[in-house]
Amino acid sequence: MFISSAFAQSAPAVAAGGDLQSTLMSMLPLVLMFVVLYFVMIRPQMKKQKEHKSMIDALVKGDEVVTSGGLLGKVSKMGESHIGLEVSNGVEVQVQRSAVVQVLPKGSIK
């Protein structure tokens, strides 16, 4: 009584090529967002990682460095994954190579 009868309606006819085109157009914003994300975030981060790795590989004894924890010191021992960092006369600390964030110019640490 209160509910009206529902009648099935046929869908309008669509050309076969129009369906594929509308699907591609609906995916276009997603593809564009991924391209922008790649050039704005992913690519610069990969470049920064590559530069950090080359800096770590180029470390030699006597380099003055800053660690991620803020320690300043001179490289006194080299290991495969760790380095000995002389932070004061006679005081040596072992740190991971990856903890080095910057190589300072010679003579920066007095």
Confidence (pLDDT) at 18: 63
Residue 30 domain flag:
yes
Instruction: Round to the nearest angstrom and report the end-to-end CA distance of the chain.
Output: 94
User: Can you give the residue range of the structural domain that contains 50?
Assistant: 15-58
* Mean pLDDT across 82-108: 95
DSSP single-letter state for residue 90: T
Spell out where 1-110 has E strands: 64-67, 72-78, 82-88, 91-96, 100-104
DSSP single-letter state for residue 58: T
**pLDDT at residue 15 is higher than 70:** no
What is the model's pTM?
0.68
Residue 1 domain flag:
no
Tokens of 58: 């180029």
Q: Is the same domain home to 20 and 54? A: yes
Residue 28 domain flag:
yes
For 59-90, the pLDDT digits (tens) are: 999 999 999 999 999 999 999 999 999 999 99
Q: Is the same domain home to 70 and 53? A: no
Q: Is the same domain home to 53 and 66? A: no
Task: Say how many domains are in the chain.
Answer: 2
For 24-36, the pLDDT digits (tens) are: 888 999 999 999 9
Confidence (pLDDT) at 22: 87
H-helix or E-strand spanning residue 31: helix 16-37
- Measured distance CA(84)–CA(101) in Å, rounded: 15
Q: Is the same domain home to 51 and 68? A: no
| 65 CB neighbour count, 10 Å cutoff | 24
Cα separation values, 96 from 79, 80, 102, 110, Å: 9, 9, 13, 23
Residue 3 domain flag:
no
